[in-house]
Amino acid sequence: MRQVWIEKTGPPEVLRVHEAPDPVPGPGELRVRVAFAGVNFAEVMARLGLYPDAPQLPFVPGYEVAGTVDEVGPGVEGYRVGERVTAVTRFGGYADCVCLPPALVVRTPDAISDADAAAIPVNYLTAHQMLHRVCAVRSGEVVLVHGVAGGVGTAATQLCDIVGAKVIGTASAQKHDRLREVGVEPIASNDPDLVERVRDITNGRGVDIALDPIGGRSFRTSYELLAPGGRLCCFGVSAMAPGRRKNLLAALASLVRMPRFGPIGLMNDNRSVAGVNLGHLWDETEMLVPQFEAIMSHAAAGRIRPVLDSTHALDRASDAHERLQSRRSVGKVLLAARADGGEHPTR
C-alpha cells in the first residue's frame, strides 16, 4: 500500500509517499481499500507542528476515508467483503488501505459516490454537532459562518437550509457569486466594516448563532454580533497558521488576542460560548453515530451534497495542502487513493 507521511514539520513539501505492506486486520477490525480521503485544516496544522493532538513524528495524517471493505477481521459481524463504506479514522487516512474498528464506519448509500462520501464525515459531523447538538438551530434563525466557502462552511450552509435558517458568511470576494447562488449573504473576510454589515443585514439585532474557526480577535467580534440568546461556537484557530511554515509570532499573537469569557458577563449578556473539537469526540460513539447516520440519510435523499473543490492524487498530497492552506478552495479538497482517481474539477 501507499501512505503519505509527515516526517518533519514544515511547508506542504514535507509530505512524503512511502510504500508499505498491506496491513492485516486484527480482531475487531475491518480493512478498507480506500478510494478517496478527505483533507482537513487540522492536518495542515499538524504538518506545521501546531496541532497538539497529532501523534509524534513521523505519522500518517488523515481523518476520513471512503472505499470498499476488502477483508473482515476476527470478531467483526455485520460487514462483508465488497461493501462500500465511509469511515472516520484517527489519523492514517492518507493511504490506499486502512484497518480500523467498525465503531465509526457506516455503509455508503448507493446514491452517493465515493468522492462525495469521503467529503462528509469531518465537515458534516462538525457542522451537525455545532448546529444541532450545541446550538439547537431553529427555523428562521440567522447564522453567521466564518469561512463559509470551506468544507465545514458549505456543510453548515446545507444543514441550515434543511431547517430553514438564514446564513450570512464571510469569504474572499471572488467566491461571493457562487455563495449567493446557494442562498448565502456574503461578506468579505477582510471587510473592516464587518460588524456594521452584519448589523445592517439583521436590522441591528445581530445573529442567533456564530460559527467561528478563526480564533484570535475574531472570537470577540463574533461574540459582539450575537443577538440576545445568541450562541457562539468556536471550532478552530486558523489565525495561528497564516503561512506555509510555522510562525510562532503569529500563533502567539492569535492567542493574546483571544477574549476571556466569564460567567457573569455571559449571564448579563444572555449569550453562550461553546467549543467543538471533533478529534476529542471519537470515543463518544453514542453521540456521533446517530448524527453520522442522519447525515448520510440526508445525503442519500439528496438534501445535502458535498461541494467538491478539487481532487489530487495521493502522491500530490502537497498540492492538496497548498490549495487548502492558501484559502483558495471552495468546498472540500480530496485525495484520490486509487490510480484512476484523477482530478475532480471545481463545482
Query: Which pLDDT does position 236 carry in this prediction?
Result: 84
Sort strands 272-275 and 226-234 into parallel, antiparallel or unpaired. parallel
Give the closest residue to 197 by CA, choosing from 233, 225, 166, 156: 225
Query: Which pLDDT does position 332 carry in this prediction?
Result: 94
**3-state secondary structure (DSSP) of residue 228:** strand
Q: Going residue by residue through the chain (347 aa), what tens digit of pLDDT does each one get?
A: 999 999 999 999 999 999 999 999 999 999 999 999 999 989 998 999 988 889 999 999 999 999 999 999 999 999 999 999 999 998 999 999 999 999 989 999 999 999 999 999 999 999 999 999 999 999 999 999 999 998 999 999 999 999 999 999 999 999 999 999 999 999 999 899 999 999 999 999 999 999 999 988 999 999 999 999 999 999 987 766 666 666 667 667 777 778 889 999 999 999 999 999 998 998 999 999 999 999 999 999 999 999 999 999 999 999 999 999 887 888 899 999 976 554 444 33
Q: Are residues 104 and 138 in the same domain?
A: no
Query: Which pLDDT does position 258 carry in this prediction?
Result: 83
Q: For residues 155 and 240, what is the distance between their CA atoms, to the nearest angstrom? A: 23
Query: Which pLDDT does position 241 carry in this prediction?
Result: 65
Q: Are residues 128 and 116 in the same domain?
A: no
Distances 75 to 28, 85, 107 between C-alpha atoms, Å: 5, 18, 18
Q: Are residues 92 and 161 in the same domain?
A: no
Write out the E strands in the chain. 2-6, 15-19, 30-39, 64-72, 84-88, 97-100, 105-107, 142-146, 166-171, 185-188, 207-212, 226-234, 272-275, 308-313, 332-336
Is residue 286 assigned to a domain? no
Is residue 16 assigned to a domain? yes
Tens of pLDDT along 277-323? 998 998 999 999 999 999 999 999 999 999 999 999 999 999 999 99
Q: Are residues 275 and 166 in the same domain?
A: yes
Query: Which pLDDT does position 103 carry in this prediction?
Result: 92
Query: Which pLDDT does position 243 carry in this prediction?
Result: 62
Q: Are residues 183 and 219 in the same domain?
A: yes
Is residue 292 assigned to a domain? no
How many domains does the chain contain in total? 2
Query: Which pLDDT does position 253 carry in this prediction?
Result: 73
Q: For residues 120 and 234, what is the distance between their CA atoms, to the nearest angstrom? A: 20
Query: Which pLDDT does position 196 carry in this prediction?
Result: 96
Q: Are residues 66 and 106 in the same domain?
A: yes
Is residue 294 assigned to a domain? no
Query: Which pLDDT does position 338 carry in this prediction?
Result: 76
Give the closest residue to 309 by CA, choosing from 40, 34, 35, 19: 40
Question: What is the model's pTM?
Answer: 0.91
Range of the domain at 249: 123-279
Is residue 181 assigned to a domain? yes
Find residue 308's DSSP bridge partners.
332
Q: Are residues 107 and 146 in the same domain?
A: no
Where residue 107 sits, what CATH number does that domain have?
Answer: 3.90.180.10
Where residue 130 sits, what CATH number does that domain have?
Answer: 3.40.50.720
Q: Are residues 230 and 90 in the same domain?
A: no
C-alpha cell at 258: 483571544
Q: Are residues 163 and 258 in the same domain?
A: yes
Query: Which pLDDT does position 63 carry in this prediction?
Result: 95
Is residue 131 assigned to a domain? yes
Q: For residues 6 and 29, what is the distance between their CA atoms, to the nearest angstrom? A: 25
Is residue 209 assigned to a domain? yes
Query: Which pLDDT does position 14 carry in this prediction?
Result: 96
Q: Are residues 180 and 230 in the same domain?
A: yes
Q: Which of 279, 296, 324 is the last residue of a domain?
A: 279
Is residue 259 assigned to a domain? yes
Query: Which pLDDT does position 344 carry in this prediction?
Result: 42
Query: Which pLDDT does position 345 carry in this prediction?
Result: 40
Q: Are residues 250 and 130 in the same domain?
A: yes
Q: Are residues 145 and 179 in the same domain?
A: yes
Q: For residues 332 and 299, what is the distance between their CA atoms, to the nearest angstrom? A: 15
